[in-house]
Structure 1
Amino acid sequence: MSERKVVNQLLDALDQLAPMGYSVGLHIRYASPLVYKSSYPAEWRDFYNSHSYYLRDPLVFWGVGVEGTTRWSAIPLPDPFSVMAKAASHGLKFGAVSSYGPITSRSIVGVARADREFDDAELAALREITIRLHIEAKPPNELTRAQIEALQCLADGDRHAAAAGKLGISESALKARLVSARVRLEARTTSEAIRKAREYRLL
């Protein structure tokens, strides 16, 4: 089963778990996730983003600082901007957050509902989904210099012949580098490989 299909199945499981939606930030590096998805109500997402609450959200601070799973109500951090009260006013009254992975590549998943606290079994399910999402979405650690050069040429708009000439190799050698880069990145096309390499900050 492909990585994308597994990730989609895990997101479907989050949908079942969280009646008011979820927020997923996977492999957060340099304060930015490599993968981000939210199914929270659009009005809350727009309000949250327009106020840059990700810089002020106690759930994010907790997730970056602690690896584990807990209910929102159990987080002792201060909330000077009343992010949680504003979330509640948009229907996100109860929630849980799960954090997993090393501090240099942390994944944080939040879920919400309007009617009650998440029970212990639901917290355990959230933990399992978070761990599996982190593992399934793990980016490759590196590409070879030759693979990066080949992808960079095409990302810059060079055609195969021009890229091969620029690198001083044959077109067949260039294509071999591109194929190996696609395999490494689990990409079906060179365009997808370039997109993934950029997302993973390899280009």
Structure 2
Amino acid sequence: MSNTTELTRLFAQLRVAAPAGYSAGLHIRFASPIISEATYDPKWIQHYAVNAYALRDPMIAWGLSCEGAKRWSEIELPDPFNLWRQAAEFGLNYGVAVSCGPVQSRSIVGCARSDREFSDQEISKIATLVRTLHEISEPQTDLTQAQIQALRCIAGGDRHAAAAAKLGISESALKARLVSARERLMARTTSEAIQKAKEIKLL
């Protein structure tokens, strides 16, 4: 089973464990996660993004300073923008935050429900899922030279045929290199693979 398939399976389990949705940022580096996914109400996701709340979110502030799992109601940090109250207006009444990994590559996940607090058993299960997600999404720090060349050509604007000609290989061989680079970087698309390769200074 590939890591990408395993990530999909684990995110599906997290979706079941968080009835009102979740927000996951895996391996946050330079203020940006390598992998991110959110299943909260799309209206809340948009409201959160438009107002740049990631920079003001007490859950993220807690996650960057602590490791472990904690109910949102137990996070004792200032909330000057009333994010908890605003989130509740979108059905995110109760939640748990999970944070793990070294501070230079931290994963932070928030899970929500609308009806009640998460039980200790539910929190333990969610924390295990998050730690597993963190471990299997550890970004690769190397690519083969062939993979780097293929990504570099596409990043430079070459279409597949032109990139293949430039590298002296068939178009099918170029596509195979791009597929293997995507798999190694756990990227869904070539554009995403290029972005991840840039983030870890491979391009």
Could you say which TM-score interval applies, normalised by the shorter chain?
0.7 to 0.9
2:141 is paired with a residue of what secondary structure?
coil
Question: What is the match of residue 105 of structure 1?
Answer: 105
Matches within 5 A, 1:75-86: 75-86=75-86
Matches within 5 A, 1:57-96: 57-96=57-96
Q: What stretches of structure 2 of length at least 5 have no aligned partner?
A: none
1:186 is paired with a residue of what secondary structure?
helix
Alignment RMSD: 2.3
Higher mean alpha-carbon deviation, 2-11 vs 64-73, is at 2-11
Q: Which whole-Å deviations, capped at 9, do the CAs of 1:112-154 have from their partners, x for residues lacking one?
A: 1111111110110111110111122221012355642342023
Correspondence for 1:196 among 193, 197, 202: 193
Question: What is the match of residue 166 of structure 2?
Answer: 163
The number of equivalent residue pairs is: 192
Shift in Å at residue 180 of structure 1? 6.3
Question: What is the match of residue 167 of structure 1?
Answer: none
Q: C-alpha distance in 2, partners of 1:193/1:38?
A: 21
User: After the TM superposition, which parts of structure 1 deviate over 6 Å for at least 4 consecutive aligned residues?
Assistant: none
CA contact (8 A) 2:93 2:114 kept: yes
Q: C-alpha distance in 2, partners of 1:144/1:5?
A: 22
Shift in Å at residue 171 of structure 1? 3.5
1:62 is paired with a residue of what secondary structure?
helix
Identity %: 42
Matches within 5 A, 1:25-40: 25-40=25-40
Shift in Å at residue 64 of structure 1? 1.1
Question: What is the match of residue 186 of structure 1?
Answer: 183
Q: What stretches of structure 1 of length at least 5 have no aligned partner?
A: 165-169
TM-score (norm 1): 0.84
Shift in Å at residue 55 of structure 1? 0.7
Does the alignment pair 1:151 with 2:151?
Answer: yes
Shift in Å at residue 179 of structure 1? 5.4
Q: C-alpha distance in 2, partners of 1:111/1:161?
A: 44
Does the alignment pair 1:55 with 2:55?
Answer: yes
TM-score (norm 2): 0.84
Q: C-alpha distance in 2, partners of 1:102/1:145?
A: 29
CA distance 1:140–1:197, change in 2 (3 Å): farther
CA contact (8 A) 2:18 2:112 kept: yes
Shift in Å at residue 15 of structure 1? 1.5
Q: C-alpha distance in 2, partners of 1:112/1:129?
A: 15
1:171 is paired with a residue of what secondary structure?
coil
Q: C-alpha distance in 1, partners of 2:42/2:93?
A: 16
Letter in 2 for 1:112: A
CA contact (8 A) 2:155 2:194 kept: no
CA contact (8 A) 1:100 1:107 kept: yes
